[in-house]
Structure formats: structure tokens, C-alpha cells
Structure 1
Amino acid sequence: MWNFFGDTCEKIRKIQEDMLETNGYHWEKYTVTTEDGYINTIYRIPYSHNIKTNNNERRPPVILSHGMTCCSAVFLNQCQLGYYLADQGYDVWLPNNRGTTFSRKHVILDPEKDKDKYWNFSWHEIGVYDIPAFVDLVIEKTSFQKVYYIGHSQGTTALAVFLSERPEYNDKIMLSCLMGSVISMDEGVKANVVTLLKYFMVPLIKLVDRHLFRIHVIPFSNTIRAMSPLLSWNSIGRYISMKSLYYMTGYENFEQATQLDLTKFCQTMPNTSSIGQLLHYMQNIQSKKFTKYDYGPEKNLEKYGSTEPPLYDLKKVTSPVALFYGKNDMFNNYKTDNLDKKLGNVVYTHVVEDDGFNHIDFLIAKDSVPLLYKHIVEIMKRYQES
């Protein structure tokens, strides 16, 4: 499915790099190899476009961690958070998780020839292997011993896995800012798409997977990207497209989407994610627990020593955490998810002052600066390493 357009990967790489250059920002690109052999790419904006040279000034490093079916471009396209933080004096790092456009290499495996092995991961492996590798690289390349972490959607899930499974890394995180968290798998997860996936898509995927052919990647990403110009060329097409987008992320908030260029937005997303990432979420939503991947009783016993997958110990997340909620986010409920009690060290909670603010608005809202970004920077300054 991913190779439906043969040069899609290279096009997306060029789109991101062209965006950075068009907007006048100096950028750098690095690769890092994880403990389990995945070779991932991370981009860097070391300073603002208002500064001609780096001047060796110390700028606190911040990692922006993208969600499922996204890549680093999501923070540079309609979101602009990457640019905003650079302009506020931060050294911005933009990682790309395994399997995305920018991170499709492995020391041994080929994502096309070795599909069964290469794509055999969920967001557990992203948290346990990808995020630590990115953090270590950023610390190595900067003069700071700690980094900021900002995650959206799956970026919040990965953070919870990362610091609960690798608790020694709490000492390397100044502050984590979690936008639209997907950690508490309770009744607060009420997205329409969850119902669609749970009762129709996931059973269909498992049926096809078992009897016809192996599904490795969440399908339809190229199809959606190809259709986006057709669905946004006039007001009716745009309305249908936005209704579909909101069906998956939260009830309509058209006012915040007035500046969204849907065709441009879809140039880099949906991006590729493994089918394991989707299935892991669905398992947790169905069980209403935040657990490791459920392989079934027999394999669970072999892997975990119990027939049920174990819970992640969120109390081990002891570095400071700031939570950012949308009142209309269908993937959590700020009133009931109790993350301030479940995580080990929540120091700040902010609910966006817009009744319609939903899961995708963290990436596309036209009023992001006053509603969200300025509050993120304010709390980051309180936890800045000298």
C-alpha cells in the first residue's frame, strides 16, 4: 500500500526540508540507531530565523514527539509549534519514529523484503527504544544534561511507556508537556472512530490478516493523501473533508480550522504506522487499562510470566509533567482521566479555553499561540536548567 506512489517517501522528505528553507530556518538532520537496530531520523532547528548564525548561544533543547500516522512535519506544516519554540529561544528537535517516511531503515531488516519482522512493533517499542535514543542524541549534541519533551497524542503514550519502562531517564527530562494525552483508557475515550475501529475495522483487519494476506501497515494513507486535493478544491469538498476529520478527532470546531490548508496538510500525513500500533490502542481501549501488548494467553505467559499483559507503572514517571487538555477531545476526558493522580509528578494542568477545542486542534487551531503555545512556554521557563 505504501508503495502505491513509488516516490512518496522522497517527496515527503523534500516537502519538509523545503518548508524549513522557505520559512528561512536553518536546519540540520541526524540519524540514530536504536538498541533493536532501527535507524531513525531527527531534524533540528538550532535557532530562530531572526538570527543569522548560532553564535554559540546556549538554547534549551526541546523534543517534539509526533502522534500515530504523523511525522515530524506535523509540527512545521499547519501547526508551526516548531517555529514558535525556535523563535522563543529553544533548540528544537523533531524526531521521526520507526516506520515513518523519514525512518524506514534498519541495520539488518528491509521494510519491504522483511515485512513480518520490520513492522513487528507497536508504540511500546517506540517508547522503550526510539525515544531513549533520541534523548541520548540530543544530550550528546548539546551542552545540556536534560531536555524538554512535548508530545501530542501517541507522543504522550510513548512518553508514559518511556519513563515507566526506562525510569532512569527521568533524570534526563526537565519537563514533559503532554498535549491531547492518550494514556488513560477509560470511558473518557469516546471517539466515534474508536467505535468504528472496534466493531468493524479491527475485526476485518484480523480476518484478512488471518485468511488472505498479512497486513503490516495501517492502510489507506496514500489514498487519503491522493484524494485531499479533490476533497478540498471547493467549499463543499472542504466541508466533507473537515466533517470526516472531526468524526475521528472531536466534534466540529470549524472556527479554529479557518486557516487550515487541507491539501498542504495532507502532503505529509497520514504517514505510515504499523498495524501493531493501532491494535495495541484498541486492546487498551477495550480493556480500559494501560497495558503492554496482548499477544494472547499462551504467548503472554511466555513473554510476561502471566496470561494477562502487565500494566505500565505510571508512578515511575517521576520527572515533572504538564498536562494540556481540549474540552472537546474525544481521546480523553480532562474531568475523569485522573492522570494528575496516576502519573508520579504532575506539576501543571491546563484546559484550553475554547469549548470546541479537540484532538486535532492541537495541530491546526488558528489561535494556538494565545490558547496553547504561550502557556507551554510559560511552564517550560519555570523548569529551565541553568
Structure 2
Amino acid sequence: MWNYFEDVRERIRKNLISVIQENGYPWEEYEVTTEDGYINTMLRIPYSNKNKSNNNERRPPVILCHGMDCCSAVFLNESRLAYFLADQGYDVWLPNNRGTTFSSHVSLDPTKDKEKYWNFSWHEIGFYDIPAFVDFVIKHTGFQKIYYIGHSQGTTAYAVFASERPEYNEKIALSCLLGTAIATDSQIYSYGLLFFLYIFVPFLQFIDRFIFRIHQIPFSALLRTTSTYTGASTLGWYINMLVIFFAAGNANFDQAAKFDLMKFSQTTPNTSSIRQAYHYVQVMRRGRFTKYDYGPEKNLKKYGSIEPPEYNLSKVTSPVALFYGKNDMYNDYRRDKLDEKFANVVYIHVADDEYFNHIDFLIAKDSVSLLYNDMVEIMRKYKAV
């Protein structure tokens, strides 16, 4: 795909780095290689520009994991969560998952080896990418326990990570899960995009199987380019925001009032494997948080059963804090019962805004008062060591 031409990848990378530099924060860049050969870029903000005199101080590390079709820029552009945490005295790490424009492979080329390179869902992100990020941060900081914050697919991947690699629970001081996308079909008939995906993704799967292979989520590059060139005008901004709200929940223009669409669309949407979308729809259709369904024959070979097994969330024993929006289409805080499924939910927070939706976790102008202050308060109760 054209987004993987080197000039485009480098342009997106430079844009992200410039965002950090423009805000006056120090940054570092690392490459993290997973067990199965993906090379993922991770950025770091080691300290805040507000307390440079103490830049040799040992700070507790926190990993911020982005959602599907995003990259680490979502924590830097509008939400500014990375800067907020750095200002609060944290060592902030910003990984980019496999499949983003910040990812490559030790031997596979994303354009020449499409079948193999894009053969993953969010299961592999949780099983391979997150453990590699966690181990890397622990090795470079000397801390034995670190914080994890994930949004959307970042919460899904964490549920895979902590249930499928339960030994890693000992390495997490606290996970803060924002806008959980785990094991619920409670709202798929209520909102536009989920219903659209519920109907449209099987159609894509038919094309994928019988006409031509689809490897990446379609239209991401087109949406990014369109938003960049149309979002400058008031009408263009409004129309683009309606599209975003279609993918996030009912419109919340109040919280999006200061949203800089032009800056956001320089890096988002990013790129993801189509299997990530397929996997979500499988979960929605079953109403259960299961592994990827390859079909009865392949399931039998891979799992020993014709049906994909369900993830055992009771194995997530590390402390978990859940953060919800009342207007979030991807979960229903009154019905998902994650506090019963995870073994150790220590805190539940519902943003005090009736219209707070899935994208508001990234763009809301009142994030500090609605979310971040409470997040840091609970983090300080579960100290990284």
C-alpha cells in the first residue's frame, strides 16, 4: 500500500517527532523487536520540560498503548496525556504496534510479503508486542513494576497480554484501561459504525476469500488525507467531526471544541491489519471474548476444538482501573461486568459528562478534570518499584 512507501513513513515519523519538539519536551527513540520478528518503534519522554533541573531523577515508567488504526501520536496531539504524565513526574513510553507506519520486520516486507506480514490480529499485539515493550522498559529503567495505560484496542490487547502471559501480571503495578473494547456486544445495534461493521465486515471477508485479498483496513490513508485537506474550514471541520463521531459515539461538539483536526490527521488514521477488524466482529457476533476464528478445520489444528476458546480474564491478576464514558459505543459501563471478569479491579471511574464518547478519551478539552487527575491519584496508590 502507498502508506508504506518510505517517503510517507518518514513524513509521518517526522511529524510525530516535531509535535514533541514543538512542545519543548525531550524525546528518545528506540526499536523493539518481538519474538516473532516485528520491529516496533517506541518513543520516550524521560522527563518534563517543567522540571529539567531534576532530569536525572529516577521516575516511575508508564507505557501508553494506542488503539486500532492509530499510533502513539494520539497521546501527544490533542489528549496531551503523555505531557501531563511527564509533568506529574512519570517516565513516559509511547510504543507503536505492529502494522503501524512505525513498524517493520526482520525479514518480511509489508508490500512484497503481504500474506505473511499482515497475518495478525490484536491477539498477536497482546501476545508478542506488549510483552516486548514491557520487558524493554523494565530493562532500561531498572524498575521491576511499571504502569500500563491503554485506550480502545490498547485495552483489548492488554486483556490478551495479561491472560495469555499471566507471568507478566507481576510486572504491572497498575493498568488503567480507557474506553474498554473487551467482550461485549451490548451496543452493536445502537450506534452507526458498529452496526456498519457488523454488516460490512462479512462482505469484506467474502471479497477477501473469493475475489482478492485484503490485508489492511481500507480507506485509512484516504481518510487521513481527506481530513488534512478539508479540515481547515469550519464546514470541513464540522463534516469531518461527524464522520469521527460516527466511529466513536453520539456527537459531543462541546468536548471537541478545541480539537485541532489538521494536526490530528497528519498521523491518524494510521494503518492496521484487516484481521484486527475481523477479530472484533467475531467477538461482537459471539458476545464472548474469544480468540481468532480461523474456521472449524484450522481451529481444530490450532486450538484442539472447532470453536475458538475464550480468553480467561480471571488470569488478569494485576490491579486494574477501568475508565468509562457514558456515551462510548464500544462498551456499556452498566453491563460489561469487567469488574467481575478481571480478578483484581481496584477502581472504576465514569467520566462526569453525559456525552463523553470513545474519541473523547483522546480529544476532550476537559480531560484533566474529567479523567487525568483521578487517574494519577489512583496510580500513586499503586507504586511502581
- Shared fold, TM over 0.5: yes
CA displacement 1:282-322 (0-9 Å, x = unmatched): 00001111000000011100100000000000000000000
**TM-superposed deviation, 1:167:** 0.1
Normalization by structure 1: what TM-score? 0.97
Contact 1:188 1:336 in 2 (8 A): no
Contact 2:163 2:313 in 1 (8 A): yes
In the alignment, what sits opposite 1:13?
A: 13
Instruction: Give 3-state SS (helix, strand or coil) of 1:249's partner.
Output: coil
**TM-superposed deviation, 1:106:** 1.1
Instruction: Give 3-state SS (helix, strand or coil) of 1:67's partner.
Output: coil
Instruction: Give 3-state SS (helix, strand or coil) of 2:97's partner.
Output: coil
Closer/same/farther in 2, CA of residues 86 and 247 from structure 1, 3 Å limit:
same
Q: Distance in 2 between matches of 1:13 and 1:53?
A: 29
Closer/same/farther in 2, CA of residues 4 and 116 from structure 1, 3 Å limit:
closer
* 2:142 is aligned with 1:136: no
* 2:269 is aligned with 1:277: no
In the alignment, what sits opposite 1:74?
A: 74
Residue identity over aligned pairs, in percent, reads: 64
**TM-superposed deviation, 1:113:** 0.9
CA displacement 1:83-117 (0-9 Å, x = unmatched): 000000000000000010111x2112111111100
Closer/same/farther in 2, CA of residues 2 and 342 from structure 1, 3 Å limit:
farther
Q: Distance in 1 between matches of 2:109 and 2:234?
A: 43
Q: Distance in 1 between matches of 2:191 and 2:12?
A: 29
Contact 1:218 1:278 in 2 (8 A): yes
In the alignment, what sits opposite 2:220?
A: 221
Superposed, 1:51-130 pairs within 5 Å as 51-52=51-52, 55-103=55-103, 105-130=104-129
Closer/same/farther in 2, CA of residues 355 and 125 from structure 1, 3 Å limit:
same
My pick for the range that moved more, 240-249 or 224-233, is 224-233
**TM-superposed deviation, 1:385:** 3.0
1:79 aligned partner, one-letter code: S
In the alignment, what sits opposite 2:144?
A: 145
The unaligned stretches of length 5 or more in structure 2 are none
Contact 2:149 2:178 in 1 (8 A): yes
1:96 aligned partner, one-letter code: N
Instruction: Give 3-state SS (helix, strand or coil) of 1:148's partner.
Output: strand
In the alignment, what sits opposite 1:320?
A: 319
CA displacement 1:10-35 (0-9 Å, x = unmatched): 11100111111111111101111111
**TM-superposed deviation, 1:234:** 2.3
Q: Distance in 1 between matches of 2:214 and 2:51?
A: 47
Instruction: Give 3-state SS (helix, strand or coil) of 1:176's partner.
Output: strand
My pick for the range that moved more, 208-217 or 171-180, is 208-217
Q: Distance in 2 between matches of 1:4 and 1:163?
A: 31
Superposed, 1:36-55 pairs within 5 Å as 36-52=36-52, 55=55
Contact 1:4 1:222 in 2 (8 A): no
Moved over 4 A (4+): none
The unaligned stretches of length 5 or more in structure 1 are none
2:317 aligned partner, one-letter code: T
Q: Distance in 2 between matches of 1:33 and 1:238?
A: 38
2:202 aligned partner, one-letter code: P
Closer/same/farther in 2, CA of residues 125 and 4 from structure 1, 3 Å limit:
closer
CA displacement 1:205-255 (0-9 Å, x = unmatched): 123212332110001111111111343232222221111111111101100
In the alignment, what sits opposite 1:182?
A: 181
Superposed, 1:133-212 pairs within 5 Å as 133-189=132-188, 190-199=190-199, 201-212=200-211
Q: Distance in 1 between matches of 2:98 and 2:124?
A: 9
Q: Distance in 2 between matches of 1:40 and 1:302?
A: 30
CA displacement 1:262-292 (0-9 Å, x = unmatched): 1111110000000010000000001111000
Contact 1:324 1:350 in 2 (8 A): yes
Instruction: Give 3-state SS (helix, strand or coil) of 1:43's partner.
Output: strand
1:118 aligned partner, one-letter code: Y
Q: Distance in 2 between matches of 1:142 and 1:4?
A: 32
My pick for the range that moved more, 227-236 or 139-148, is 227-236
Contact 1:249 1:358 in 2 (8 A): yes
Q: Distance in 1 between matches of 2:51 and 2:126?
A: 34
Contact 2:4 2:101 in 1 (8 A): no
Q: Distance in 2 between matches of 1:204 and 1:188?
A: 21
My pick for the range that moved more, 46-55 or 289-298, is 46-55
Count of aligned pairs? 384
Q: Distance in 1 between matches of 2:107 and 2:233?
A: 47
Q: Distance in 2 between matches of 1:177 and 1:367?
A: 18
Instruction: Give 3-state SS (helix, strand or coil) of 1:63's partner.
Output: strand
In the alignment, what sits opposite 1:297?
A: 296
Q: Distance in 2 between matches of 1:64 and 1:13?
A: 17
**TM-superposed deviation, 1:197:** 1.5
Instruction: Give 3-state SS (helix, strand or coil) of 2:120's partner.
Output: coil
2:46 aligned partner, one-letter code: P
Contact 2:3 2:101 in 1 (8 A): no
